């Protein structure tokens, strides 16, 4: 028996998961957000791992609630030395309308995509040839475009998609994590999904790259859909069902599908059912306090073999990345009609 499965069984036994499963899966997006915010979105040290939770807090509780949380990083931000910190600057876009320094922090990050003479680079630095880089750079570029009105940032957001796709998009429509190996790591597909969905939220429909981004997102979702398991989860390696069901990639793929649904791009009943199943599956893996999650992959750089992805550690308990992704999903789910999830068939 795999170690992850043993841990899952022990976790279910110790937490009473089996006894409170119905209560877990019946939570509304509002209720889940409230529980998660009791534990997540309370600190920000520079990375996207915490930034997404703080962004949801700002939208739920107002900007005043996050100003003390981000004050230190706003005044003395972490060095822009990796993709996670670049994406972490998304939090400052929340404050940019009223705070010129916050706006400048966003622009400073986006400007890494340009040479000193202002000419565009082929891609944002620190991409490491990984599919993650669509999220790590694309949304901050689109935010800079929205804040400044300068087309160059939108152009670079679309360029980031194209550049990474040339390296990582497989012929079957899902992403290898990097050119080192063909493995379609779960979160390595979640990152392009949420990255392009976020870009599209700011990219003007009149931009020549809008249809490119939209088509990329929809094609990716359609390629991912057959790999959702019966419980509603996507797996640690997308096309290897023997790998463990993975919490964060399921949140991310579901979020992207919800953005597409809200915009009227996914209208089929099959997608409604897929979203309902994934929501129920995610809720079943978050305890009733909102603190502990079950079955999230630990932080992962690019690996050289399928086996290396299959054996990445599973997290059971508190996990900032999982909390952020669950909050992101719930904040999008809350925009659906009130009975969307309660009307789902029980299986």
Residues 6+ apart with CB under 8 A from 105: 74, 77, 89, 92
Helices (H), the chain: 3-15, 17-25, 29-37, 48-61, 67-75, 83-88, 90-93, 100-110, 133-148, 151-168, 186-202, 210-224, 247-262, 269-284, 306-310, 320-333
Q: What average pLDDT is seen over the chain?
A: 94
How far, in Å, are 59, 89, 142, 220, 325 from residue 54 at the CA level?
9, 11, 19, 28, 11
Please state the pTM of the whole predicted model.
0.93
pLDDT beyond 60 at 347? no
**Residue 346: pLDDT over 60:** no
- Mean pLDDT for 329-337 is 94
- Average pLDDT of the segment spanning 319-327: 98
DSSP calls for 177-237: SBTTB---BHHHHHHHHHHHHHHHHHS-TTSTTHHHHHHHHHHHHHHHGGG--TTS--BSB
**Residue ranges covered by each domain of the chain:** 3-333
Q: State the Cα–Cα distance between residues 177 and 167, nearest whole angstrom.
A: 9
Report whether pLDDT(212) > 90: yes
Q: What is the pLDDT of residue 14?
A: 46
Q: CA 50 to CA 316: how far, in whole Å?
A: 18
What pLDDT score was predicted for residue 166? 98
For the chain, first and last CA: distance in Å?
26
For residue 337, the model assigns a pLDDT of 86
Q: What is the pLDDT of residue 342?
A: 77
In this structure, are residues 66 and 57 in contact, taking their beta carbons and an 8 Å threshold? yes
Using an 8 Å Cβ cutoff, are 222 and 173 in contact? yes
Residues in the chain: 347
- 56 has pLDDT over 50: yes
Q: What is the C-alpha R_g of the chain? A: 19
- Give the three-class secondary structure for 39: coil
∠ CA 116-120-126, rounded to 5°: 85
Q: Check: CATH 3.40.50.700 for 3-333? A: no
> What are the two backbone dihedrals, phi and then psi, of residue 254, each rounded to the nearest 5 degrees?
-65, -40
- Residue 331 pLDDT greater than 90, yes or no: yes
The C-alpha angle with vertex 60 and arms to 71 and 332, in degrees rounded to 5, equals: 115
- pLDDT tens digits for 119-178? 999 999 999 999 999 999 999 999 999 999 999 999 999 999 999 999 999 999 999 999
Of the candidates 316, 304, 265, the one whose C-alpha atom is nearest the C-alpha of residue 12 is 316
Between CA 136 and CA 141 the distance in angstroms is 10
pLDDT 10s digits, 247-283? 999 999 999 999 999 999 998 788 999 999 999 999 9
């Amino acid at each position: 028996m795999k170690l992850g499965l043993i841990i899952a069984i022990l976790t279910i036994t110790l937490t009473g998961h089996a006894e409170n499963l119905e209560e877990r899966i019946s939570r509304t997006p509002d209720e889940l957000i409230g529980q998660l915010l009791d534990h997540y979105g309370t600190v920000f040290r520079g990375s996207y791992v915490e930034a997404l939770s703080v962004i949801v807090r700002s939208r739920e509780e107002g900007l005043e609630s996050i100003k003390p949380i981000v004050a230190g990083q706003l005044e003395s931000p972490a060095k822009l030395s990796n993709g996670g910190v670049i994406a972490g600057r998304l939090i400052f876009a929340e404050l940019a309308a009223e705070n010129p320094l916050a706006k400048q922090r966003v622009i400073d990050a986006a400007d890494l995509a340009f040479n000193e003479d202002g000419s565009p680079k082929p891609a944002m630095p620190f991409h490491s040839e990984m599919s993650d880089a669509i999220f790590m750079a694309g949304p901050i570029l689109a935010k800079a475009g929205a804040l400044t009105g300068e087309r160059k940032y939108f152009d670079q957001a679309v360029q980031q998609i194209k550049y990474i796709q040339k390296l990582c998009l497989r012929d079957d429509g899902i992403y290898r994590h990097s050119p080192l190996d063909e493995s379609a790591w779960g979160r390595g597909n979640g990152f392009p999904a949420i990255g392009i969905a976020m870009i599209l939220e700011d990219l003007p429909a009149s931009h020549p790259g809008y249809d490119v981004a939209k088509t990329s997102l929809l094609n990716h979702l359609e390629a991912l859909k057959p790999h959702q398991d019966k419980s509603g989860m996507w797996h640690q390696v997308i096309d290897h069902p023997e790998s463990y069901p993975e919490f964060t990639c399921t949140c991310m793929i579901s979020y992207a599908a919800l953005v597409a649904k809200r915009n009227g791009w996914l209208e089929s009943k099959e997608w409604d059912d897929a979203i309902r199943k994934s929501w129920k599956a995610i809720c079943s893996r978050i305890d009733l306090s909102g603190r502990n999650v079950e079955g999230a992959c630990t932080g992962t750089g690019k690996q050289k073999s399928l086996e290396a992805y299959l054996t990445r550690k599973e997290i059971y308990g508190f996990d900032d990345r999982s909390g952020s992704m669950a909050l992101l999903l719930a904040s999008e789910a809350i925009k659906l009609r009130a009975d969307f999830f309660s009307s789902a068939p029980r299986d």
